A = this chain, B = another copy of it.
Amino acid sequence: MTLPQDIQSSAEDYMDSQTHSNRPISSILIIIAMQTEALPLVEKFQLSEDHNSVFPKEVPWVRYHGVYKDLQINLIWPGKDSALGVDSVGTISASLVTYASIQALQPDLIINAGTAGGFKAKGASIGDVFLVSECAFHDRRIPIPVFDLYGVGLKQTLKTPNLLAGLDLKVGKLSTGDSLDMSMQDEASIIANDATVKDMEGAAVAYVADMFKVPAIFVKAVTDIVDGEKPTAEEFLQNLATVSAALDEAVTQVIHFISGKCIHEL
């Protein structure tokens, strides 16, 4: 029997939620690619840096951890590239830290938070914070049947109707690629993905989370308008600090909302 796709997805969501229905969420894993985005949250939740890392000594990944009410919080920042000293952004670091963190910390829920580009044609403005409904890649073009779908790598995020109703967040689809700019081919794929926001990590986190069936949500704040007038890099750098504050406020609200609830109550 083949179910229509929307029914099938709902069925999967239901099964996923059932897995966790009997107990409140106790451990959350927050993955944030840039230090500027991460540090205000570290401060707000008074998280401590882990000096006896759960990760191998060779990696630059940094774990901050602490307790908020009944929640164990682990915030992982992939750290600075050891050769170049810049944040280890992008899909490779994101997938590696997601993998290693799931193995080491066995979280009940993953929150990938970060800044993103937004499309004004799809209703995004600077400073908007989006809760992502699905993730896909826009820079993995493999024009061979089925491999093409693998490249796009569409993943549904955890459905959180109550969280959405409770918080003042927008909803949109996310498209991920390893470039900050956007080529013509990227643009065509982003349109095909029907994306409102564009980042450099989300779909990679979703890929690994899905592999281990760990529910994941994605909170993305808009630093730059991709289909606007200003060059992306300039606008991104200009707005990074202020939009990071909006992002952290949203993530804080999400954590408050999560506390004491089960996955299926989100």
Contacts and interface: CB of A to CB of B under 8 A. Distances in A.
A144 B56 contact: no
Interface majority SS (helix, strand, loop, mixed), chain A: loop
Contacts of A207: 92
A141 B177 CA distance: 10
Contact of A181 (B89, B143, B150, B213): B143
Contact of A179 (B58, B151, B233, B237): B151
Contact of A89 (B81, B143, B147): B147
Interface size class of A (residues with CB under 8 A): 35 or more
What's the number of copies of this chain in the assembled complex? 2
A192 to B, nearest CB: 14
A58 B149 contact: no
Q: Which 9 A-B pairs have the closest CB atoms?
A: A141-B179, A140-B178, A183-B185, A142-B180, A92-B95, A143-B233, A58-B212, A86-B146, A84-B150
Interface of A: 56, 58-59, 81-82, 84-86, 88-92, 95-96, 99-100, 103, 137, 139-144, 146-147, 149-151, 177-181, 183-185, 204, 207-208, 211-213, 233, 236-237
